[in-house]
Structure 1
Amino acid sequence: MSKKDKKETATSEQIDEQVMEKDELTAEEQLSESLQQEKDKFLRLFAEFENYKRRTAKERIDLFKTANEEVMLAMLPVLDDFERALNHIEEDKEAEELRKGVLLIYQKLMTTLEQKGLKAIKISKGDDFNADAHEAITQIPAPSDDLKGKIIDVVEKGYQLGEKIIRFPKVVIGQ
């Protein structure tokens, strides 16, 4: 082998080594890039799963808070009847013992329902009307100018279960 042949062989071997090094670098870069992509996928999937867990936990808590909603809605007419009976019995002075008994039962029922999360919405005559929290059933001329746009009468009480309004108070507003 001549010197020239040796030189060409050496040069071709060096070129082959350089090409192999470049291939190794690109292979390493490809592996590194692939690893980074997989890490990103994992982090996104993990974050998505954490969000799912939080969302389902919140939904479960909300469900427990309002699970009694149907029962409470069914009980509201009974409460209304109790209140009407108490108002009627108050007028009759001869039925004092009956009034005491009905009042006792009403208070016991209210206490039980309040323990389960039911709350009466507190409104009174003269409060400002709020369309998000009240249901206006009619408008009448206001007896005075200061009652315009305000609640004149409460026809039916409103109730909320936890933070959710299950029955809006029915009111008459002045115009």
Structure 2
Amino acid sequence: MSKKENPQTAEKATATDINTNEERAAETSKQTNETPQEEEKTEVEQLKEELEKEKDKFLRLFAEFENYKRRTSKERVELFKTAGQEVMQAMLPVLDDFDRALLEIGKSSDKTLFDGVKLINNKFYETLKSKGLEVMNVKAGDSFDADLHEAVTQIPAPDKKLKGKIVDVVEKGYTLGEKIIRFPKVVTGK
């Protein structure tokens, strides 16, 4: 009888094993079905986050490049405007000497000499003017502005109206484009 019980027991054990295996397979399939979907979602989310980070980096880099282009083009324009600044500054004393020479020659009776020097002075000044040089228009009686004028000295004001104002212009000021390359030297009244 033991042989007969063994096949029945074996059949029961086999049926139990089949049920258990089916349950395990169902659980495994549930787990395997959920895990890839969850992994896909997290991978997709990670990829979206990485894409957003890369887009942000790209936009920042693009904005930096645009700012760089704008800044360099502005510097280039500024450089062209003031390219001859050193040469112009070197020529200003020569222009001042011409003005002084004209004052002294004007005191003499030789009109042809005066006219000749005046023609040379005008030609020299017009050449510099064509390159962007301009005389700053400053005269006695104007208000003193420390940002635009260089005070050489202060003297007692000859008139009450000249207190804190310009009494005399010692040396002309010049601009090149919009930039002051030499401030006018003035005497102010106190």
Provide the C-alpha distance between the structure 2 equivalents of 1:138 and 1:32, rounded to a whole number of angstroms.
Answer: 71
The equivalent residue for 1:174 is 189
Residue 124 of structure 1, aligned match among 118, 139, 142: 139
Provide the C-alpha distance between the structure 2 equivalents of 1:143 and 1:89, rounded to a whole number of angstroms.
Answer: 30
Cα drift, residue 91 of structure 1: 1.6
Q: Does structure 1 residue 25 correspond to structure 2 residue 41?
A: yes
Cα drift, residue 4 of structure 1: 4.4
With normalisation by structure 1, the TM-score equals 0.95
The equivalent residue for 1:106 is 121
Residue 164 of structure 1, aligned match among 162, 167, 179: 179
Q: Give, as a single letter, the amino acid of the residue that structure 2 aligns with 1:80.
A: D
Which 4+ stretches in 1 moved above 2 angstroms?
1-5
- Mean CA deviation greater in 3-12 or 152-161: 3-12
Provide the C-alpha distance between the structure 2 equivalents of 1:89 and 1:77, rounded to a whole number of angstroms.
Answer: 18
Q: Higher Cα Rg: structure 1 or 2? A: 2
Provide the C-alpha distance between the structure 2 equivalents of 1:59 and 1:37, rounded to a whole number of angstroms.
Answer: 33
Provide the C-alpha distance between the structure 1 equivalents of 2:132 and 2:23, rounded to a whole number of angstroms.
Answer: 93
Residue 89 of structure 1, aligned match among 86, 102, 105: 105
Aligned length: 174
Cα drift, residue 158 of structure 1: 0.4
Give the CA RMSD over aligned residues: 1.1
The equivalent residue for 1:48 is 64
- Mean CA deviation greater in 8-17 or 146-155: 8-17
Give unmatched runs, 5+ long, in structure 1: none
Cα drift, residue 145 of structure 1: 1.0
Q: Give, as a single letter, the amino acid of the residue that structure 2 aligns with 1:165.
A: I
Provide the C-alpha distance between the structure 1 equivalents of 2:158 and 2:188, rounded to a whole number of angstroms.
Answer: 11
SS of the residue 1:122 aligns to: coil
Q: Does structure 1 residue 137 correspond to structure 2 residue 152?
A: yes
Q: Does structure 1 residue 12 correspond to structure 2 residue 9?
A: no
Cα drift, residue 161 of structure 1: 0.8
Identity, in percent, stands at 58
Give unmatched runs, 5+ long, in structure 2: 1-16
Provide the C-alpha distance between the structure 1 equivalents of 2:155 and 2:110, rounded to a whole number of angstroms.
Answer: 36
Q: Give, as a single letter, the amino acid of the residue that structure 2 aligns with 1:108.
A: K
SS of the residue 2:110 aligns to: helix
SS of the residue 2:35 aligns to: helix
Cα drift, residue 3 of structure 1: 3.4
Provide the C-alpha distance between the structure 2 equivalents of 1:18 and 1:158, rounded to a whole number of angstroms.
Answer: 83
